[in-house]
Structure 1
Amino acid sequence: MVQNIDSGSLHPSEQQRISEVLALYGFTSDWKGERGKGGMNNSTYMLHVDGTNYVMRQYETHNDPMKITFEHEVLEALQRSNFKLDTPSPVRRASGEGGTFLPIKDTLTGHTKIVTLFHYSEGVNPIWHTPDQLIGLGKAAGALSYVMATLDIPLDPVYPPYYRIQDAYPLCSPERLLQLCTSPPEQLAACTNELKQLREALPDLFEALRGMEHLPHQLVHGDVNASNVLVDQQDGGICAILDFEFATWDLRVMELAVPMSDLLTMDKSEDWMWQAQEGLIRGFREQVSLKPEELLAIPRLILLRSLDVVMHFISRMFEDTDEPEVAVEQIVKLKQRIDWMRLHEERLREILVY
């Protein structure tokens, strides 16, 4: 079996798993590796084999072959498209049917996890220093949206659209969320006040989602933000878009609403945020022509994005995947965004139609 020749901080069980995966992909040389930062939904490892860099991903919570098959179909279609930025490229196994992922038993937990190998993408996650940087993010999201609309994916998506939130989280349905707001459990005691105030606001937001199904739909990434893009270390321009785990058939305009939502609770001045929002919108609309009714829906979709994150992390809390503090943080952010929207929705609409 191929061996790690520079173990670093890797646990022996991780070294064994990586060696096993590389062998199944047909590698016979020794390797070097280190644990990556990873995300909330997976573990990542940076590997160097035969003079080439790879990223190994172990799916932790999206451990569903149907979801991963759809994600990889999208990624392979993007590789065949004329999209200019880098996107993750799954490595095909040399043996068997040449698939792009495989099940591996975790010796520590005994659970079987899905593992895949990607070609390494150069770049680093951006840090937003100036509002003008968000023009580049808008252009990248718009360019991706334009190309994603042309992809022909023969599979049905696994994830429902954002606005069908009642179908997305069985452990935290809208009805259960409202119950939690009325009688917060001990795990969420730190945000009791926010939950009780959300109890008043959420019914209107759920109601506002009616009719969204009539807006233009297409394939979307669904999570374009600073943690899922890379910039070139030399010129600072966006060079890659990563993490297509949530790609699905959804509202076209959601690809703009998601990064707009994420800007609202950044630790920046109000003026900085407004300039950044204007740049983000301008960059996106250089690539995609949005209809007036799509622009009209954006304020509600910004809040929907935050609501979706709350329901996601409450579900993970119930599954014991994440600590309650993660859900508490997102509940507080949702309350802050709803308060912000009450004060600033009119101005936001003005820059959207400018």
Structure 2
Amino acid sequence: MHNIHLRPQEDAERQLIQEVISLCSPQSRWEAERGYGGMNNTTYLLKLDGERYVLRLYETHTDTVKIAFEHHVLSALNQSEFELQVPSPVQVNKGEGPTFLSVNDPHNGHYKIVSMFTYCRGKNPVWNTPDQLIELGKAAGLLSSALAKLEVSLEPVYPPYYQIQQAYPLCPPDKLIQLCLSPPDELKECAEEMQELLPVLPALFEALNGMDDLPHQLVHGDVNASNVLSDDHGRICAILDFEFATWDLRVMELAVPMSDLLTMDKSDEWMWQALEGLIRGFQKQVRLETEELRAIPQLILLRSLDVVMHFISRMFEGTDEPEVAVNQIIKLRERIEWMNSNEERLRQLLWV
């Protein structure tokens, strides 16, 4: 019963999965279905001797130090009193080895890192009503509180968001400004937006000065609808994808989902109610300091700027098509326009 559903490259994928299964649980009966992996990995939903797992194929790096830290955080959370589900890495070699291994990708012959995780029940939420964002804020706050108490022995690899100047060697600030001055052919589609960003970028980078004085802790850094699961009653029941967990500003755990809300195709009234619910849900769990609240407008834009630099870098690497970076550049311009018109009202909502 070795099946892969809904995939034309069945033989190559079966070969990869069988290699992993042979190390984790030889002689097992298994089924696999292609999952909905994010931009950074491919996932398979596995049924192994009746138990369900998720197999992740890391697509963008083979840095075992990064993966070891992610798995270290997940293992520590699973041993804590955190009340929501998080994936638990499964040890290979019959439960006696590490939680990841290197395999050859049959599609291209390159070696990649593969991990198997326990399965979390639930489904990605769809934001139909603004009140649903209270749940997301509460989940982010619960996670923030749990991570603040977590004891981890490994050092994080990723720098804080506000150290963006050093985060992307293929697209540092001066390179991004140069691209806006003279967009390459790959980014011509958003040349107008890049020209509009040009006078704004220096101030965005300047606003990061002094951020290191704000409260820091371990953060997930990417809490959004694609990285949480909800139960049949609409309650957030699981948080996924800790790949970018690191030591960063505590308030980023709220600023990130706030930033992601701003380009949704919703009415102004819906958006303001959703933002209020998100903030209220988070602050029921975590009481932020005044200086943290004051920084949120800049951090909302920082999140979007970080995503732009991330996907331009991936474009240069050949990992993603230019359209991905183009879309993120357009979204950054939209968020800046929104902030120019709404920052005062946002600060009132934050009680700053």
Tell me the TM-score normalised to structure 2 length: 0.98
Deviation at 1:282, TM superposition (A): 0.3
Q: Which amino acid aligns with 1:199?
A: L
Aligned match of 2:278: 280
Aligned match of 2:148: 149
Distance 1:244 1:261 in 2: 19
Checking the alignment, whether the CA contact within 8 Å between 1:221 and 1:248 is kept in structure 2 is yes
**CA-to-aligned-CA distance 1:145-170 (integer Å, 9 cap, x gap):** 00000111111111000000011111
Deviation at 1:107, TM superposition (A): 2.4
| Alignment of structure 1 residues 119-268 onto 2, 5 Å | 119-232=118-231, 234-268=232-266
Deviation at 1:94, TM superposition (A): 3.7
Q: Which amino acid aligns with 1:345?
A: E
Aligned match of 1:53: 52
Deviation at 1:97, TM superposition (A): 4.9
Of 254-263 and 107-116, the range deviating more from structure 2 = 107-116
Aligned match of 2:351: 353
| Alignment of structure 1 residues 49-128 onto 2, 5 Å | 49-95=48-94, 97-128=96-127
Q: Which amino acid aligns with 1:142?
A: G
Pick aligned residue for 1:289 from 277, 281, 287: 287
Checking the alignment, whether the CA contact within 8 Å between 1:7 and 1:15 is kept in structure 2 is no
Q: Residues 6 and 254 from structure 1, CA distance in 2 versus in 1: closer, same or farther, beyond 3 angstroms? A: closer
Distance 1:92 1:106 in 2: 20
Q: Which amino acid aligns with 1:52?
A: E
Root-mean-square deviation (Å): 1.2
Q: Which amino acid aligns with 1:313?
A: F
Gaps of at least 5 residues in structure 2 are none
Gaps of at least 5 residues in structure 1 are none
Over the matched positions of the two proteins, sequence identity in percent amounts to 65
| Alignment of structure 1 residues 284-323 onto 2, 5 Å | 284-323=282-321
Aligned length: 351
**CA-to-aligned-CA distance 1:273-298 (integer Å, 9 cap, x gap):** 00000000000000001000000000
- Say which SS state the counterpart of residue 117 (structure 1) adopts: strand
Q: Which amino acid aligns with 1:267?
A: D
Deviation at 1:30, TM superposition (A): 2.0
Distance 1:77 1:21 in 2: 24
Q: Which amino acid aligns with 2:24?
A: Y
